Amino acid sequence: MNIQRLGLNTVSLKFTNLEEVAAACAAAGFRTIECPLDQIRGELKKGMTPAQARAIINGHKVTVSGGFNQNLIGLGTPAEITASLEQHVQNAELISQLGGTMMVVGTDYINWPGQKEVPDVIERMAAAARAVADRIRPLGITMAIEFNWGMVKTLLATVEIAKRSGASNVGVLFDPAHFHSTPSKTEHITAETMAYIKHVHVDNMPMSPAETTDCNTARLLPGDPAGCYDLVGLFGKFEQLGYCGNYAIEMFNDELWAMTPAAAAKRMYDAMQTVFSKLP
């Protein structure tokens, strides 16, 4: 596995400052990072420019793969949808300034409405995705929609939104924790759906019922024997079906957040090697 494809989502670390976090990721062995944009904007509020942020990251021989910040609004009022569009464009502009190409988004904050209330939910979300995609295409940014972050819960529904958007720069973010916590099935991972998967988060989950398991705080590191996924088999299947994007570990773990960024990043890099060292 090409080391350039293995990254860390810095939401997994105690964020001290950008210099320390970038140095920690580089020392651990990571060559790419995915950034919660709120972390970056916190540095910008202190006077840093996007160019300076990129220089700090690149100075440690690390690049930004992308970032994330908010949900895509498709079922709100016209004013809410327009405001969401503009916010996503601003996020894409910042990601581009950092050198990234991937913007991860969730979906509407509301629950999925009833058929009689909104009969064309997927089409309306696809329209919202298409509107964003058209604006961010000149920036070289792809939007990856994460299922089970907001209203849209399943892999297949998210694939359908990406498909109906008709935009080549719209796809799906796959995360094992979210997959575990939804009605999605392994049979849904096919060559057809894989064509829409643009980015992958890395984690494992315990062998406990999805209904009683928090898809964020219950996450386990790759290689943990308590995990319910054979990640070598899962991501090996991704590779066989033609996935060629990045993998970024994403954890929401109090123990990791209590560590120094350097110690936590090293622990996560070593955990990733239990999987990706076994893949070609």
Secondary structure of 142-155 as H, E, C letters? EEEEECCCCCCCCH
pTM over 0.85: yes
pLDDT digit string (tens) for the chain, length 280 residues: 888 899 999 999 999 999 999 999 999 999 999 999 999 999 999 999 999 999 999 999 999 999 999 999 999 899 999 999 999 999 999 999 999 999 999 999 988 989 889 989 999 999 999 999 999 999 999 999 999 999 999 999 999 999 999 999 999 999 999 999 888 888 999 999 999 999 999 999 999 988 888 999 999 999 999 999 999 999 999 999 999 999 999 999 999 999 999 999 999 999 999 999 999 8
Are the C-beta atoms of 33 and 7 separated by less than 8 Å?
yes
What pLDDT does residue 182 have? 86
Burial of 138 (0-12, 13-18, 19+ CB in 10 A): exposed
Selection from 142, 169, 139, 171 nearest residue 158 by Cα: 171
Note the pLDDT of residue 149: 95
What domains lie within the chain, and their CATH numbers?
Answer: 3-276 (3.20.20.150)
In whole angstroms, give the CA distance from residue 269 to residue 40.
22
Q: What is the pLDDT at residue 183?
A: 83
DSSP 24-76: HHHHHT--EEEEEHHHHHHHHHTT--HHHHHHHHHHTT-EEEEEEEEEEP-SS
d(CA 179, CA 242): 19
Give the model's pLDDT for residue 39. 97
| The two three-digit tokens of residue 173, written as one number | 């973010």
